[in-house]
Structure formats: C-alpha cells, structure tokens
Structure 1
Amino acid sequence: MAKIVGVVATGDTEVGGGAPIFYAKDRDQLQTIAHLLEKVLDSAAHEVNKDLFIIVNRH
C-alpha cells in the first residue's frame, strides 16, 4: 500500500496532516523541492494542483 511521506506546497496553500510539510516560495522552487525529495526518498512526486505536490512511497 502507498504511503504519503511528504507534502510540498507554496506558502499560500493550506495543508495539514501527519506527513512532513515543506514550503516553497514559488512554483519553480516547489517543483525543485518535490523532485529532489522524489530522488532522495526513492519515491514518486505527484502534482495535486499547481501549488501542491505529495511524495508517495510505494515500497
């Protein structure tokens, strides 16, 4: 079963939950952080909307 291991959002997006939340100042930084976490955590980054990515581990 997949598990959300992180959330990446721009500063003006309201998010919450049990996973670590990373805030980005703009869309470019949002994509950079999401893709870096994807590689480091050996997971998949999924764009929920233009201001929010979730990092999902399927292992």
Structure 2
Amino acid sequence: MRAEEIDPVCGMRVDPKTSKYKVLYKGKIYYFCSEACKSEFEKNAEFYLAHGPQGMPHR
C-alpha cells in the first residue's frame, strides 16, 4: 500500500492510515478526505472512475 492515496472525487491526497472515510468498490478500497466526497463517490462512482477528480462537491 502506498503512503498516500488520491481522493477520487476532489483529488486531495489522503493518508489511508488515518482517513475515516473509505469505500470498498469492485474489490478496491478508495479513500476520501471528507464525508462529502465519500457520499458523492457512492452516488456516482463510475463517473469519478471514468473522468477523474472534479474538485470538492457542492452542497
């Protein structure tokens, strides 16, 4: 495992050892900087995996 992962929603670097936000999707664990990014990924994971980070989600 790498020391840092990239949040697939906003592009921020995330430390998997300390992140409280993660999702197992299609056999891979994705880490997030916030609940907002995690929630956005769960709504539309395929979009973020196909298009890459889009910045912080708007509320």
State the TM-score, normalized to the length of structure 1. 0.26
- More strand, by proportion: 1
Using structure 2 for the length normalisation, give the TM-score.
Answer: 0.26
